[in-house]
């Protein structure tokens, strides 16, 4: 059985065939290929709209786009969805809750329509709050 071996171009250590980096210094062998998956415009619209459907939709959208560079469009809508969900927590207050609940329902519909049409409409009062910076 013949094993194919090569040597690290940085430190000269032996590298077995198929290894992605030098076991001695960690230098990549050149066999490694980086792939970056990015969302296309229609996928971004879906993720933006999904973020407005309850906390579960927002968590799913955040997890799907985790590790990817989010566009300004997607970052804007995810940020606005988080702020809207936080404001919606006020609907748990007995008297004011009904008004806040209805307002949040209308705001969600407004935001979903805006995201589907690729618009970045800011909500009044809470539209300036930024939670997701990057």
Tell me the per-residue pLDDT of 66-85, one tens digit each, with 9 for 90 and over.
Answer: 766 677 888 888 889 999 99
- Please report the pLDDT score of residue 33 as a whole number: 42
Among the ranges given (32-41, 83-92, 102-111), the one the predictor scored with the smallest mean pLDDT: 32-41
Token reading at 60: 């799913």
- Please report the pLDDT score of residue 89 as a whole number: 92
pLDDT: is 111 or 70 the higher one?
111
pLDDT at 56 over 70: yes
Span 15-24, pLDDT tens digits: 777 777 788 8
Answer for the pair 17, 5: CB distance below 8 angstroms, yes or no.
yes
pLDDT at 34 over 50: no
- Can you tell me the distance from the alpha carbon of 6 to that of 82, in angstroms, rounded to the nearest whole number? 51
pLDDT at 63 over 90: no
Measured in residues, the chain has a length of 134
- Can you tell me the distance from the alpha carbon of 16 to that of 44, in angstroms, rounded to the nearest whole number? 42
| Beta strands, E only, the chain | 5-7, 14-16
Answer whether 0.85 is exceeded by the pTM.
Answer: no
**How far from 90 is each of 23, 50, 58, 98, CA to CA, in Å?**
55, 22, 18, 9
The per-residue pLDDT of the chain, averaged, comes to 80
């Amino acid at each position: 059985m013949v094993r194919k071996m090569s040597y690290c171009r940085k430190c000269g250590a032996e590298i077995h065939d198929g290894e992605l980096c030098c076991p001695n210094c960690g230098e990549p062998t050149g066999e490694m290929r980086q792939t970056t998956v990015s969302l296309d415009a229609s996928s971004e619209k879906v993720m933006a709209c999904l973020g407005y459907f309850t906390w579960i939709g927002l968590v799913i959208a955040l997890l799907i786009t985790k590790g990817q560079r989010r566009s300004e469009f997607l970052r804007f809508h995810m940020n606005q969805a988080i702020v809207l969900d936080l404001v919606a927590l006020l609907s748990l207050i007995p008297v004011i809750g009904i008004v806040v609940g209805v307002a949040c329902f209308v705001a969600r519909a407004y935001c979903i329509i805006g995201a589907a049409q690729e618009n970045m409409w800011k909500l009044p009062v809470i539209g300036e709050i930024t939670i997701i910076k990057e």
